[in-house]
Amino acid sequence: MGLTIQDLNVSFGYKYVVSNLNLELDSSEIVAILGPSGCGKTTLLRTIAGLQNQSSGQITLNGERIDGVPCESRGIGMLFQRPVLFPFKDLLGNILFAYQKKNQRDMNEVRSVIQEMGLEGKEHQAIETLSGGEAQRVVLARALLTKPKLLLLDEPLSALDVDLRRKIAKEMRLTLKTRGIPAIHVTHDPIEAEIIGDRVIHWTDLQPGGDNEE
Amino acid sequence: MRSTVVRTVPVVLYLSMILLPLLFAVDRLMLVTGSNPVESVFQIDEHPFGSDAVKFTFVQAFLSAILTLLIGLPIAWWLGRYQWKHIGIVRAALTLPFVTPSIVAAMGFLALIKNGGLLHSIGIDLRTETGIIGSLSSTIGVENSGHIIALLVAHAWFNLALVIRFVEPRIATLPPRYEDAFRMLPVGKTPFDRLAKFWWPMLKIPILSAFTFTFLFSFTSFALVRWLAPNMWTLEALMATVGGSAGIPGYRVEVSRFILGAATLQAIVLIAALGLTSRMQQRNFQETELVSEGYSRTMNGHPGILPKIGVFMATIFALAPLVFMALSSVRIRNRTTDSYRWSLEAWEYAFQGDLSYVSVPEALTNSLVYATGCLLLSCTLGFFVAHSIHSLEKQNRKKLAQTIDVLSMLPLALSGVMVGLGVLLGTLKIWPELFNFYGLPILPHAMLTTPFVIRILLPAMREIDPDYEAMGMVLGFNAIQRFLKIKIPLLKPQIVVASALSMAFSLGEFGASWVLLRSGAWDTLPVLVDQLMSRPKYFELVTPIAMASATVLMCTTFLLFVIAERFRTHKGGGF
């Protein structure tokens, strides 16, 4: 079980950004993919999430093929490079976006995640007042509450300073491991990759053809 | 498939709404006159007032634009250069005229210039041209010069905000070191050198844009011409007045020919002016570093006595017509003794509607119903047309997107009267039963306001980070949930601004409503004001009742903007 990607190809016009990519991930494994900017890491994550169409290949999650499934039905969470917080909601309002309907909300769980992320007392703070680290914690809290089958981390810490980046990377790893959520973390920082991943894979090993330009 | 339908249906509906009435109208006029639109432009002078109307329209629009710049530029300069206390309030007061319905502006100026008005009482008699104005009139030898002066000043009052809004931000955000560097060069030694070789190149685009828009608004002005220069004809005023007789085969063909020619000429002028402005802006676009307004103003410090007096006078100029209009509704002139008394009688009459087809509450209800209908129609259509254009742009189908964008702007090249006549001649004379349809004015109002809605929403849609949509998908929201929970809230400020503008425009719209509704049971507030002012003034309360009705319209419009301002910004908050 976990994630299996077989012979994945993604192209923009005639240009292949991901070609013949194969990857396996165990059910609670965290894999860090290391590669330079523009090599195609983000495209890979967007394809797994269903935000980008693939040209060919198979993606299987927990034994089910998901490559034909729309993004919103895949049950995959994703953190983008910049924290995506909705400006018309405060911190709590953004976290509650994890639930599609009001009657699905479990406020005990919400409080517990807020506490775990160290965001207590800031529930009604406007998102503009949050620091970069706090903003990514809010996004992580929201993603955790969706109970994702897989979490995709697209360089979510790249905008933070080095010390904070590594501190949050440790916290993230602990959170994901405690909950047994498998994750793919892409980064160009080798130390961050080592901290967060059970396994670190270089992009060139995933794609023997070499780096591609996005 | 579903997304194609969502994209296509609003575009087809909108283009049909704006194009069909106009095409039907042109077709009908061509059938009646046997001329094509271009030929008919050269036949305008066959109408007894046609030739004079063309000349006066161009001359008054040109002079109005010049006068507006003469008054507006020093104010924009002072506001942009110096640190002012309460600049927000001053700016709001100076912008007020631009959001004032044109009939209210006309009433405001009438209140100033009428017998017993402020200007009349200090010896400036623009109505009957006695005293100084009489002497001036006979010196320059221009007939009705008092009326013309009143019209030009009213146009300048109405468009002052345009000059300030176009020019002031440019002055306020230019880095002061540019000017400092220029002063140290031989070419920038004297203030005149700096004006000609530094400030003019820096400011010419906003100044010329303000000139063009003021020219266009004055060119198509109707309510102000009708009430402040009653003996003069502009193309817009003449079209509105004679338009009811047009489009009937074999009956007063010269009127149909005039309408076809005048509408074509107006459309050519409007399209040419808008096209020239747009080309000028594109060709002369300068990428200049900008600084925050506060920084630039701090460098120049507080204003001296002259700027203070100038800005104070401009604020008084902006507020006086409105204040005097409100006062005129309670200050009643006794015609026999020529004395004045203060009374609320006019307000009682206005609310009872004894002198008009409808009372103020009925007219206000009609206006609000039409404004709400216009809001719903123009905002819904405008939103989806903008969404369609944006979707096509995202799919890289830029030519199709541009074509729809340009077509959607077509009503900007039409005046209120042209649209009203388009609906009257294009739709009603083919389908007369529509005359019994209460909601009829919503169509021309929406035709005129939807391009503004598109212009406000489209840039905002382009600016939304695509990650918001992606995040919505990752969180499991379907297309409708993403639309309702993410897209609409993100666009809320622009939707509120578009809605407020749409409603305010509909509330104050006079040209199209006047053509379609005149003297009916569904009169709007602007039509009611016009109807009251058209009555003989034997009864002393007639003018105060009109002023009271105009005051209600003014207050409703301002209240709308105050409410819109409250809802405009994102306030955060949970679910």
User: Is B56 a domain residue?
Assistant: yes
User: What are the tens digits of pLDDT across the range B65-84?
Assistant: 999 999 999 999 999 888 88
Query: B525 pLDDT exceeds 80?
Result: yes
Domain that holds residue B181: 42-328
Decide if B295 touches A, using CB distance below 8 A.
no
Instruction: Identify which of A51, A78, A100 has the shortest CB distance to residue B481.
Output: A100
Measured CA distances, A27 to A177, A203, B260 (Å): 11, 21, 75
pLDDT at B140 over 50: yes
> Rounded CA gap, B506 and B373, in Å?
9
| Lowest pLDDT segment from B150-159, B191-200, B403-412, B445-454 | B403-412
In terms of DSSP H, where are the helices of chain A? 41-49, 91-95, 107-116, 132-145, 162-179, 190-196, 203-206
Q: Is A124 on the interface with B (CB under 8 A)?
A: yes
Pairing of strands A15-25, A30-34: unpaired
Given CB atoms, is A100 within the 8 Å cutoff of chain B? yes
* Cα(B41)–Cα(B97) distance, integer angstroms: 34
Contact B433/A at CB under 8 A:
no
DSSP three-state, residue B200: helix
CB contact under 8 A, A84 and B574: no
Handedness of CA B517, B518, B522, B524 (dihedral sign): positive
What residues in B contact A159, CB-CB < 8 Å?
none
Q: B-chain residues within 8 Å CB-CB of A142?
A: 475
And the tokens for A90? Answer: 């405060």
CATH number, domain containing residue B269: 1.10.3720.10
Q: How many helices (H) and strands (E) would you count in chain A?
A: 7, 9
The whole-angstrom separation of Cα B318 and Cα B499 is 25
What's the sign of the alpha-carbon dihedral B399, B400, B403, B406? negative
Q: What is the mean pLDDT of residues B479-497?
A: 90
Comparing alpha-carbon positions, the chain A residue that sits nearest to B492 is A88
Task: Say if B70 falls within a structural domain.
Answer: yes
Residue B89 lies inside a defined structural domain of this protein: yes
**pLDDT bracket for residue B157 (50, 70, 90):** very high
pLDDT on residue B344: 92
Residue with tokens 């009109």: B546
Q: What is the pLDDT of residues B105-116, one digit of tens each?
A: 998 898 888 877
Question: Above 70 in pLDDT, residue B569?
Answer: no
| Residue-level pLDDT at A211 | 47
Q: CA end-to-end span of chain A, whole Å? A: 30
How high does pLDDT run on average in chain B?
A: 85
Closest among B349, B257, B328, B287 to B44, alpha carbons compared: B257
% pLDDT > 70, chain A: 97
Q: Please give the helix or strand (H or E) that residue A57 lies within, else none.
A: strand A56-61
Mind listing the domains of chain A with CATH numbers? 3-86+133-140+147-206 (3.40.50.300)
CA distance A149 to chain B (A): 12
Spell out where B475-536 has E strands: none
Is the minimum CB–CB distance between A49 and chain B shorter than 8 Å? Answer: yes
Write the Ramachandran bin of B114: left for phi over 0, alpha for psi from -120 to 50, otherwise beta: beta
Q: Do B573 and A89 touch (CB under 8 A)?
A: yes
The confidence band for B573, taking pLDDT boundaries of 50, 70 and 90, is very low
Q: What is the dihedral of CA B501, B503, B508, B509, to 10 degrees?
A: 90
Is the model's pLDDT at B571 over the cut of 70? Answer: no
Q: Would B211 be classed as within a structural domain?
A: yes
B573 inside 8 A of chain A by CB: yes
B501 within a domain of the structure (yes/no): no
Task: Summarize pLDDT for B20-59 with one digit per residue, the tens.
Answer: 888 888 888 898 888 889 999 999 988 889 899 999 999 9
Q: Rounded to an integer, what is the distance from CA B26 to the centroid of its chain?
A: 25
**Smallest Cα distance from B566 to chain A, Å:** 14
Q: In 3D, which of B414, B474, B491, B400 has the Cα closest to residue B449?
A: B414
Looking at the domain assignment, is residue B187 inside a domain? yes
Shortest Cα distance from A2 to chain B (angstroms)?
18
User: What's the token pair of residue B265?
Assistant: 């000429």
Determine which of B2, B467, B469, B471 to mutate to test the interface with A (most A C-beta atoms within 10 Å). B471
Whether residues A86 and B490 touch (CB distance < 8 A) is answered with yes
Kindly report which listed range (A139-143, B376-380, B454-458) carries the lowest average pLDDT score: B454-458
- Chain B residues whose beta carbon lies within 8 Å of the beta carbon of residue A72: 472-478
CA distance A111 to chain B (A): 14
**Residue B90, C-beta contacts closer than 8 angstroms, at least 6 positions apart:** B79, B84, B311, B315
Q: Residue B427's pLDDT is what?
A: 74
> B300 or A6, which is more confident?
A6
Say what the pLDDT of residue A214 is. Answer: 39
Residue B187 exposed, middle or buried by CB count within 10 Å (0-12, 13-18, 19+): exposed
Structure-token pair, residue B374: 């216009």
Strands A3-12 vs A56-61: parallel, antiparallel or unpaired: antiparallel
Please check the confidence at residue B323 and state whether its pLDDT lies above 70: yes
Check if A93 contacts B (Cβ < 8 Å). Answer: yes
Residues on chain A touching B476 (C-beta within 8 angstroms):
72-73, 75, 100, 146
pLDDT of residue B25: 85
Say what the pLDDT of residue B333 is. Answer: 83
| Residues A68-83, mean pLDDT to the nearest whole number | 90
Q: Is B203 exposed, middle or buried (0-12, 13-18, 19+ CB in 10 A)?
A: buried
Residue B236: pLDDT above 50?
yes
pLDDT of residue B363: 93
Residues B460, B466, B467: CA angle, nearest 5 degrees = 130
Residues 6+ apart with CB under 8 A from B52: B233
pLDDT band at B286 (very low <50, low <70, confident <90, very high): low
The residue of chain A nearest to residue B477, with distances taken between CA atoms, is: A72
Residues A64-68, mean pLDDT to the nearest whole number: 91
In a domain, B560, yes or no: no
- Helices B542-568 and B102-113 pack at an angle, to 10 degrees, of 130
- Specify the number of domains making up chain B: 1
Confidence (pLDDT) at B294: 66
Strand A76-79 to strand A150-154: parallel, antiparallel, or no bridges (unpaired)?
parallel
What is the average pLDDT score of chain A?
89
Phi, psi dihedrals of residue B359, rounded to the nearest 5°: -85, 170
Residue B508 tokens, joined: 């104050």
Supply the pLDDT for residue B287.
56
Question: How far apart are alpha carbons B278 and B271 in whole angstroms?
Answer: 10
H/E element, B264: helix B253-283
Are B474 and A51 a contacting pair at CB < 8 A?
Answer: yes
Element (H, E) at A8: strand A3-12
B391 within some domain = no
Q: What is the pLDDT of residues B245-277, one digit of tens each?
A: 888 888 888 889 999 999 999 989 988 888 887
The C-alpha R_g of chain A, in whole angstroms, comes to 17
Confidence of residue A132 (pLDDT cuts 50, 70, 90): confident
The reply to whether ipTM tops 0.95 is: no
In tens, the pLDDT along B361-400 reads: 999 999 999 999 999 999 999 999 999 999 888 888 888 8
Task: Inform me whether the C-beta atom of residue B465 falls under 8 Å from chain A C-beta atoms.
Answer: yes
Predicted TM-score (pTM) of the model is: 0.79
Grade residue A49 by pLDDT with cuts at 50, 70 and 90: very high
Structure tokens at A175: 């959170």
Question: Cβ distance A50 to B453 under 8 Å?
Answer: no
Does position A148 have pLDDT exceeding 90, yes or no? yes
Distance CA B455, CA B506 (A): 17
Across A183-191, average pLDDT: 92
Number of Cβ pairs < 8 A linking chain A and chain B: 79
Torsion angles phi and psi, residue A32, rounded to 5? -105, 125
- Is the minimum CB–CB distance between B468 and chain A shorter than 8 Å? yes
For chain B, the C-alpha Rg in angstroms (whole number) is 25
Amino acid code (one letter) for B199: W
Residue with the larger pLDDT of the pair B123 and A135: A135
Lowest mean pLDDT among A126-140, B130-144, B224-238: B130-144
- Is the Cβ pair B570, A88 closer than 8 Å? yes
